[in-house]
Each structure stands twice: as C-alpha cells, then as structure tokens.
C-alpha cells in the first residue's frame, strides 16, 4: 500500500499545487519496445543471426478520474493483429503476433478486469488491483515536457519495474496494472530494459463514457488461477517459469 507522500517544492523543483484541483480525462499513446532474445543451436543458428533484436508496437491508455482502459493502438486501416514481418535470405519469414490483451481499471474501487490471451485461449482475470509496493526515489525526468518522478517496485521473483509518473496530471492511471501512483505514468522500464513503454503523445479530449467498456470475453478466473494455469502449461512444455513481466511475444519462423 502506498503511504501518504508529501512532496516539497525544494525536492521537486516545480509546483504541483496548481494542478491539485483539476480532474483530467483523455488518452496517452505509448511506444512499446520489447527486446527479443532468440537462442537456437545447431545449423539454424547461422540462419537467424540477422534477425531483429527488438519489436516495437503502440498501445493506448484511455483515462478519466473514475477509470482507465489499456489496449492495443491501431491506426485507421490497420488490424489489431498486424504485428509486422521480417524476411531473411532463403524466404525465411518471422511473424510477430501480439496477444489480444486489454486492461480495465476502476480507479475508485481499485478493481481490475484483465482480458488475457494465453496459448490461443482467452481468459478474463478479475479481482482487486494488485497492491504493489512502490518506492518513490525523487529522481526526475521530463517526458513530453511534463516533469516526472521515478518510482521502483521489486516483486517476489526479483523482477524490477521502474516507472516515471507526473503529478502534473493527477490521475492514478498507467499502462495496465502499473498505476495507483500519485500521477499519470508516462514511462515504464521492466527488467532492465527488456520491455520499455514511453508516452509519445497525450490528448485531453474527453473520450466519453462509452470508451470505458469492461472486457467481457474469455473464461473468468482469478489472478491466482490464471498464474497457476500459465505455470502448469509452461512446465508441460519444459519451459522454466520466472520473471515474466517483461511481456510475451509469440515468434513463428516459417521456411
């Protein structure tokens, strides 16, 4: 649980008080960069030496004082499934497919509904917003001309998440469950750069209540049940489970 935090003007070098009475609605578009680690032994190792080392995509966060909705962002004429492709010599094609995930957060009740795709199956993960212990560092960085403060969290597996939030926009929202901080989250660094999200634009056009539709597709499970399903399936596949917060990208190599 985040304890009450008092920010002094000396520490922040800017005034937050002037924003305290304002309530914001709008949207943030983030660029997401996911590091790709591909390890293949044997004859194919030489064939994939020139494959990309990272994947970029865009996400959107709709926010209001009451709720937030985090989803994939698609430009007009594009499909949500469009992940891009890379073609190497010998007509080897690498296709990136992103899971169909979206996160609705009730900021007042601190409840979360998360639509998660795992192994082609859809799950509806419901429950309270995870109670993350954030450590406010006081370090600052400007993002889109907004002064931001750095906060860190280390989970039970040792995974370190760093976020930069701005008290200038007094909405406790952020990408997915990375929220509940005293300001809008504009940047995220998960697992030493394995996954980075950074705001590229902010709009304060009111999205309207009709945007905040709660996800409803998938098998309804609790967070604990979903984690158990993932862990058991990964064991069946002979994959060790660990710090998975850096995100999931399904990579298919076709000849």
pLDDT at 234: 78
Rounded Cα distance between 198 and 183, Å, is 15
CATH fold group of domain 24-232+245-254? outer membrane lipoprotein receptor (LolB), chain A (2.50.20)
**The pLDDT value given to residue 140:** 96
Q: Is the pLDDT reported for residue 83 higher than 50?
A: no
What percent of the chain is predicted at pLDDT more than 90?
Answer: 53
Token pair recorded at residue 96: 């990136």
Q: Could you give the CA distance from residue 157 to residue 48 in angstroms, rounded to a whole number?
A: 31
Where are the domains positioned within the chain? 24-232+245-254
2 in Cβ contact with 180 (< 8 Å): yes
pLDDT classification of 22: cutoffs 50, 70, 90: low
Q: What is the pLDDT of residues 129-170, one digit of tens each?
A: 988 899 999 899 999 999 999 999 999 889 999 999 999 999
Q: What is the pTM of this model?
A: 0.78
Instruction: Measure the CA–CA gap between 58 and 79, rounded to whole angstroms.
Output: 12
Q: Report which DSSP code applies to 88.
A: -
> Per residue in 167-197, pLDDT tens?
999 999 999 989 999 999 999 999 999 999 9
């Amino acid at each position: 649980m985040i304890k009450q935090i008092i920010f002094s003007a000396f520490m922040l070098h800017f005034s937050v008080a002037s924003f305290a009475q304002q309530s914001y609605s709008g949207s943030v578009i983030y660029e997401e960069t996911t590091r790709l680690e591909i390890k293949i032994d044997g004859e194919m190792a030489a064939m994939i030496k020139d494959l990309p080392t990272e994947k970029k995509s865009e996400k959107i966060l709709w926010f209001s004082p009451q709720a937030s909705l985090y989803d994939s962002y698609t430009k007009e004429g594009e499909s949500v499934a469009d992940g891009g492709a890379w073609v190497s010599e010998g007509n080897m094609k690498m296709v990136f497919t992103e899971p169909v995930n979206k996160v609705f957060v009730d900021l007042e009740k601190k409840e979360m509904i998360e639509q998660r795709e795992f192994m082609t199956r859809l799950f509806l993960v419901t429950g309270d917003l995870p109670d993350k212990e954030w450590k406010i560092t006081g370090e600052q960085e400007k993002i889109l001309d907004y002064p931001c403060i750095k906060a860190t969290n280390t989970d039970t597996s040792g995974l370190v998440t760093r976020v930069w939030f701005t008290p200038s926009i007094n909405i406790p929202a952020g990408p997915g469950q990375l929220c509940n901080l005293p300001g809008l989250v504009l940047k995220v660094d998960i697992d030493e750069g394995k996954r980075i999200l950074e705001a590229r634009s902010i709009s304060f056009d009111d999205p309207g209540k009709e945007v905040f539709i709660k996800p409803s597709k998938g098998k309804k499970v609790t967070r604990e049940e979903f984690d158990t399903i993932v862990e058991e399936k990964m064991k069946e596949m002979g994959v060790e489970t660990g710090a998975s917060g850096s995100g999931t990208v399904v990579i298919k190599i076709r000849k």
